[in-house]
Structure 1
């Protein structure tokens, strides 16, 4: 599936470039596409090198956490839920702990910590996979939950809105939470239906109910705060929790007479190896995405959607924010640029500006996540992972548009 999609991206870029040259007299599009190839190849290496330090640090901390028993204790909290939606994983397997750590970091918006924990989770699940070149059901569901993960504190979106002059930079906070929750729930349901996992189990329903109750409490609390207080509190909470976790891990290791320094170094060595192994996978995916963007495919799709919406007489205001939605699964930096451009052109407090902000915070960079995590375990066959991830993205985008009309329409 992923190889066919990769080829489709490149062929689409070539066809679009030909169209631009033949019908729009823009022969320079071919140069733009080849420039994008060079730029994305360089970016892929830069990303991998930039990950070396982060991966080394967090995989080092994770190894100490494993040796000190912290991971097992954290895993026991989510183990009943995870074992029912991922029945391939046996009780007390290390994968349960790394999955728990990754999901916790994602919820707090701690990307630097979430990625190393996610890579560790994929590697742990890979030990259970009967086909080492093919994703297991558990790995697919994990990827879907990653690409659609609920993020309680989308700080970056608030900061960009403040820079663009929004009167209330955090007025998109609740819409983002609602949209990303819809994305996560849709991804979970679709994937479990494909994998024939029973979601009506009492334990699963109890965990889901508790999770949404907690989410509602967070929305009620932070929704009542002033914008500057909300941004400050959410940032402080996330960083305090992260630093506290590091200290607790080291103290727990010391109490259990673990040589924390040596264990940290051993874990950090793996981080270096993983970061280097990601380069070929990142190059393959990011080059295809860069070609797609430079060829004008995104612009052609947006114009086509706008024409169809106008033809049926529907409200076309949401189309102005669609470039962010279309770019987000492909490139985080590209989607961020689209969001900023939308706010600059239409205004941060315009409907399009707010919708672009909600879209930016409601979904994840699906193909980047797939490239990194599949590359970390050397998997070539993604099975239904791409389709399920894109279904979650589609649900998040649809929910973002609906919620934005509800709040700001």
Structure 2
């Protein structure tokens, strides 16, 4: 249930809302973990799927693009959805290889195949919509799902005879102490991010990548959108700031601005998630989590760049 709520929040592009559900999921999985300081297979699979950041409706990104004066703020809808789907599938496959999970099982094929078909049909439907139709569809679907979740919670509480307000208060109290537990890990990550940003490391990386792209003969425009992808594994808010900065520099509807928006929606905050989620439950040995999550991020970045050239170049 906690995992489903976490994935649902990501599907709606509500990445901040996904964190408390993810922390609850990790705490639940930790009760099943025989070695309390070593990440279990289930915890690694959950975190890697979470890092894939499967997003159906990038609500916050569309809102930022609209506020930045984009003429078509929803035109990143399809590329974001396809890129996050590719990253999530890559995460599942990579972890399955590590854990020797046979994906060619009827149940797995049915679930993955069913989701793939739904995403494919949705893409086909959305491609044939006008800009106005796409805007209306995004708004109706996102608002409708959020409203559905609200009513589902209330109806579920009535069915189970649970006092919703008392349950909310208990959850808020527990959430407060969870926040207290993750503060040290959060502060450590924020300091590391600040040092990297102010030291000029990202500028050196971007200049170097642009030089390599020019030498090879590639179009160098995609490099200007990459700061968002470079900082996304460290901080969601930092990556959002990079995306906004790219839009301000090149324009919300520029190739670089659109690519930054797609990169923002293509994956999750790998190191932030590992530090906060594992730190909250006392996990010290993360095993291959970082490698698997970074590989999934790389698939998302490559897919995003390719899709940006297909849709916007």
For the 8 Å contact 1:155–1:231, the answer to whether it is kept is no
Equivalent positions of 1:277-296 (< 5 A) are: 277-296=181-200
Give the direction of change, closer, same or farther, for the CA distance of 1:157–1:226 in structure 2 (3 Å limit).
farther
Q: Give yes or no for the alignment of 1:212 onto 2:119.
A: no
Query: Counterpart in 1 of 2:78?
Result: 174
Give the direction of change, closer, same or farther, for the CA distance of 1:243–1:159 in structure 2 (3 Å limit).
closer
Equivalent positions of 1:8-407 (< 5 A) are: 97-407=1-311
For the 8 Å contact 1:122–1:377, the answer to whether it is kept is yes
Q: What is the CA RMSD across the aligned residues, in angstroms?
A: 1.9
Aligned residues: 313
Give the direction of change, closer, same or farther, for the CA distance of 1:346–1:188 in structure 2 (3 Å limit).
same
User: How far is 1:229 from its partner?
Assistant: 4.8
What stretches of structure 1 of length at least 5 have no aligned partner? Answer: 1-96
The whole-number CA distance in structure 2 between the counterparts of 1:156 and 1:266 is 29
For the 8 Å contact 2:53–2:265, the answer to whether it is kept is no
Q: TM-score, normalised by structure 1?
A: 0.72
Give the direction of change, closer, same or farther, for the CA distance of 1:130–1:167 in structure 2 (3 Å limit).
same
Question: Which deviations, in whole Å up to 9, do the C-alpha atoms of 1:364-395 show, x marking residues without a partner?
Answer: 12222222211221212211111111111100
Give the direction of change, closer, same or farther, for the CA distance of 1:272–1:228 in structure 2 (3 Å limit).
farther
User: How far is 1:260 from its partner?
Assistant: 3.9
What stretches of structure 2 of length at least 5 have no aligned partner? Answer: none
Give the direction of change, closer, same or farther, for the CA distance of 1:189–1:256 in structure 2 (3 Å limit).
closer
Q: TM-score, normalised by structure 2?
A: 0.92
The whole-number CA distance in structure 2 between the counterparts of 1:268 and 1:387 is 34
For the 8 Å contact 2:9–2:17, the answer to whether it is kept is yes
2:252 is paired with a residue of what secondary structure?
Answer: coil
The whole-number CA distance in structure 2 between the counterparts of 1:322 and 1:389 is 18
Structure with bigger gyration radius? 1
1:197 is paired with a residue of what secondary structure?
Answer: coil
